[in-house]
Amino acid sequence: MAVNDDKMNKFYLAINHYAEEQRKKIEQEVSEFKQRELDEAEVEVLTEAYRLIQKEMAEMRNGISREMAQREMEGRKELLAKRQSITAKVFERANNALIEYTQKSEYTALLKKFAAELSKTFTKPGTVLCIKKEDEKYQELIKEAFGKDCTFKINPDIHIGGIRAYNSQMGISADITLDSMLEDQREWFAENSGMAIV
């Protein structure tokens, strides 16, 4: 019976040893499975965090770009308003200086010169010379310099001075007023004043 007990003990030992090995193997597999799952979860979490960080950074960059564009646009608006204000002041001063000039004796010489220039173009009768109300006193002087038959018309659009002419028969008109000459300087001023907005 001792042999049987010994065999039985060996059998139990073998079974216990096999069970222990199986238990260790299962624990190892479970541990490896857990580690794999943890590694995959970690990679997934890191990937999601990276995406979230990239998204946040893109939103921040877009927000900064929008803010910079807004500031630049506001800066340009301010510069444009300043430029318009300076231009208006410059042209207001020029306008006032020209009006003062029309009060001087040199202005009559300029009106004669303008009338003589117009007479070269307006060669047929029926020419109408437009002047401002304050220049009515120079009609005879202008007519003499024009040298041809003409009529005069007071034009309320002429504020500074000079002469506008038209001849319906010839189908032409000309404007050599100080008003239009000053207005023509606006484009030149914008290009050459150094106040360009870039």
At 3-58, the pLDDT tens digits run 677 777 777 777 888 778 888 888 888 888 888 887 787 888 778 888 888 888 88
121 with 66, same domain: the answer is: no
7 with 91, same domain: the answer is: yes
- What is the count of structural domains for the chain? 2
Phi, psi at 102, each rounded to 5°: -70, -10
Q: Is the pLDDT of residue 1 over 60?
A: no
Which of 82-96, 119-133, 141-155 is predicted least confidently?
82-96
Answer yes or no: are the C-beta atoms of 151 and 131 closer than 8 Å: no
Residue 69 pLDDT class (50, 70, 90 cuts): confident
pLDDT tens, 139-182? 999 999 999 889 999 999 999 999 999 999 999 999 999 999 99
Last residue of a domain, one of 101, 127, 146: 101
Helix (H) or strand (E) holding 151, with range, is: strand 150-154
The mean pLDDT of 74-78, rounded to a whole number, is 86
17 with 85, same domain: the answer is: yes
- CATH number for the domain spanning 142: value is 3.30.2320.30
Amino acid at 111: L
DSSP state of 157: T
**DSSP of 90-117, one letter per residue?**
HHHHHHHHHHHHTTSTHHHHHHHHHHHH
Q: Is the pLDDT of residue 2 over 70?
A: no
29 with 80, same domain: the answer is: yes
Q: Is the pLDDT of residue 82 over 70?
A: yes
Pick the more confident residue, 81 or 111: 111
1 with 95, same domain: the answer is: yes
Give domain status of residue 61, yes or no: yes
- Cβ within 8 Å of residue 167, ≥6 positions away: 122, 124, 126, 127, 128, 173
Give domain status of residue 48, yes or no: yes
Reported pTM: 0.61
- Cβ within 8 Å of residue 133, ≥6 positions away: 154, 156
The rounded distance, in Å, linking the Cα atoms of 121 and 175 is: 12
DSSP state of 160: S
Going by C-alpha positions, the residue among 176, 72, 70, 67 that lies closest to residue 115 is 176
User: From the CB of residue 174, how many other CB atoms can be counted at a distance below 10 Å?
Assistant: 17
The mean pLDDT of 68-73, rounded to a whole number, is 88
95 with 146, same domain: the answer is: no
96 with 161, same domain: the answer is: no
Q: Note down the domain range covering 3.
A: 1-101
13 with 35, same domain: the answer is: yes
146 with 185, same domain: the answer is: yes
88 with 143, same domain: the answer is: no
Last residue of a domain, one of 101, 133, 150: 101
Last residue of a domain, one of 53, 84, 101: 101
pLDDT tens, 101-115? 999 999 999 999 999
The mean pLDDT of 60-83, rounded to a whole number, is 87
87 with 166, same domain: the answer is: no
